[in-house]
A and B are shown apart, each in its own frame.
Chain A
């Protein structure tokens, strides 16, 4: 496709792997080193990403409330989040005396690990994926459900009634909103005929699904946005940590780096959810193509895939961040009503619509 730009992420990765395979005879050792490099790169990327998302969140908050946001530390306040991280590093990590120590320390680890596992099948650029698993979409929705165990564990082991209440709320919330997320993803699986993320991206070469699937896919995109915002416990669905009612919900008792891990997991989840939406509905790294306009498509191909991917992802992150300052928090009963009486029936009917559309070939 890009004859002039031969350097791509996949070729760099392949070059490193070949070089390792040539210089080290032992195959297992090469694999282990490959995995280690991948893990370290991913962690480094995530730390930078979380710094950026933290900064972006504050700037978006400022933008929505007609104020500046951070503007003292570093140019345009860009080092504020670094200062905050250093502060968190030096804080004392307190453990409540009556808490279940083992589970108390384990809970943040489980939450972070669950959100790291979901990163595996995300396609950052053409052929640049950690694990192109054949059941990508199912894998993501299944592994992300491990996080709820971490939240419940944190709430229970803290020995604090606010934590317990927050954990209960979050459990009910995540378990119910998972259904809508799954059903809205199934709409695309029906159209593209595959669960594998690379296939789903490839099926959008002639146009993104949000355009090709028109009305039903737009409905499922909106449902996905709402339900996934609820699933990652962000406002207006942040009942699990509603400050005014529950001090900080399930992480009330956490401080220092353990608290930072919850924050880290929240930002990783935000990125993952947006990346899934970008991949499934907006074609991932696939450039914007318009029908048979060869010249236009050719110009679009010159923009590298990872810029497309991150552009779309950050657009969706921006939308989700705006929710936080736009809508008031829902009550628990309203939250459950929204899911079980509105989103779920709508997405079920929508699934039937998409199926009919796929059979009759009504999509573009």
Chain B
């Protein structure tokens, strides 16, 4: 048992332990923090395997992006400071059952897989190689999935902008104009007091 095996088991224990804590903790914010530690440990595993690029991307995407978003939504939720309700017994039972079957399925898949070491020369996971592979149009190139994913992201971004954009409908302007005509120089207070609803 050498040092690298020990380091691997420490990282693996951190991933699984933090993952378990994330689902069992009754405080929602702590769950998010444990999830964060689990994701950072996975990044640590990538660094340990010398896949530095993937590790850094893992941190950028999950830690800098997704967990921050989760934490923000927790901040904006009312009563997020209190303890969550303990799940009902039935739910625990079925969740345990689902986990058990999932574990068995994974075990069987791994068991059937023969891990034969490849004869091919390993390609260095440098940024140059990743970039070249990503944009390569040859047989094992990833140009098509890359472009499809970029289209997906573009449409998602446009969708976000469309949802977030402030629409100034022409009806609103008309109604405001009518209001001005009807009340003349009357200020906002009088408009509120007259109890007239302006339908947008």
Contacts and interface: CB of A to CB of B under 8 A. Distances in A.
Contacts, number: 74
Contact of B56 (A106, A138, A148, A168): A138
Among B33, B60, B63, max chain A CB count under 10 A is at B33
Contacts of A28: 2-3
**Secondary structure call for the B interface:** helix
Interface string A158-198: 01000010011001000100100000000000000001000
Interface string B26-58: 010110010010001000000000001100110
Interface string B9-29: 000000000000000000101
Given A28-B3, A142-B60, A153 B81 contact: no
A113 to B, nearest CB: 11
B57 A142 contact: yes
A100 B30 contact: yes
B134 interface: no
A121 B82 CA distance: 42
A145 B60 contact: yes
Contacts of A100: 27, 29-30
A149 B56 contact: no
B67 A149 contact: yes
Interface in A122-180: 133-135, 138-139, 141-143, 145-146, 148-149, 152-153, 156-157, 159, 164, 167-168, 171, 175, 178
A146 B37 CA distance: 11
B33 A148 contact: no
Interface of B: 2-3, 27, 29-30, 33, 36, 40, 52-53, 56-57, 59-60, 63-65, 67-68, 71-72, 74-75, 81, 126-127
A171 B68 contact: yes
A103 interface: yes
Contacts of A164: 75
Nearest to B6: A28
A178 B71 CA distance: 18
Category for how many chain A residues contact B: 20 to 34
Given A103-B33, A156-B29, A142 B72 contact: no
A195 B74 CA distance: 36
A135 B53 contact: yes
B71 A138 contact: no
A145 B36 CA distance: 12
Contacts of B33: 103, 106, 149, 153
A171 B72 contact: yes
A135 B52 contact: yes
B63 A149 contact: yes
A156 B31 CA distance: 13
Interface of A: 28, 100, 102-103, 106, 133-135, 138-139, 141-143, 145-146, 148-149, 152-153, 156-157, 159, 164, 167-168, 171, 175, 178, 195
Given A134-B126, A135-B127, A149 B29 contact: no
Given A148-B64, A153-B33, A159-B81, 19 more contacts: A102-B30, A133-B52, A134-B53, A134-B126, A135-B53, A138-B53, A138-B56, A138-B127, A142-B56, A142-B57, A142-B60, A143-B56, A145-B60, A146-B63, A149-B63, A152-B71, A156-B74, A164-B75, A195-B127
Nearest to A165: B75
Nearest to A155: B75
Contact of B40 (A102, A139, A146, A168): A146
**Secondary structure call for the A interface:** helix
Nearest to B27: A100
Contacts of B53: 134-135, 138
A159 B27 CA distance: 14
A103 B30 contact: yes
B16 to A, nearest CB: 20
A168 B57 contact: no
A134 B71 contact: no
A25 to B, nearest CB: 15
27 contacts: A28-B3, A103-B30, A103-B33, A135-B127, A138-B56, A138-B127, A139-B56, A141-B60, A142-B63, A143-B59, A145-B59, A145-B60, A146-B63, A148-B64, A148-B68, A149-B36, A149-B68, A152-B68, A152-B71, A153-B33, A156-B29, A159-B81, A164-B75, A171-B71, A175-B64, A175-B65, A195-B127
Contacts of B59: 142-143, 145-146
A141 B57 CA distance: 10
Given A103-B29, A149-B36, A142 B52 contact: no
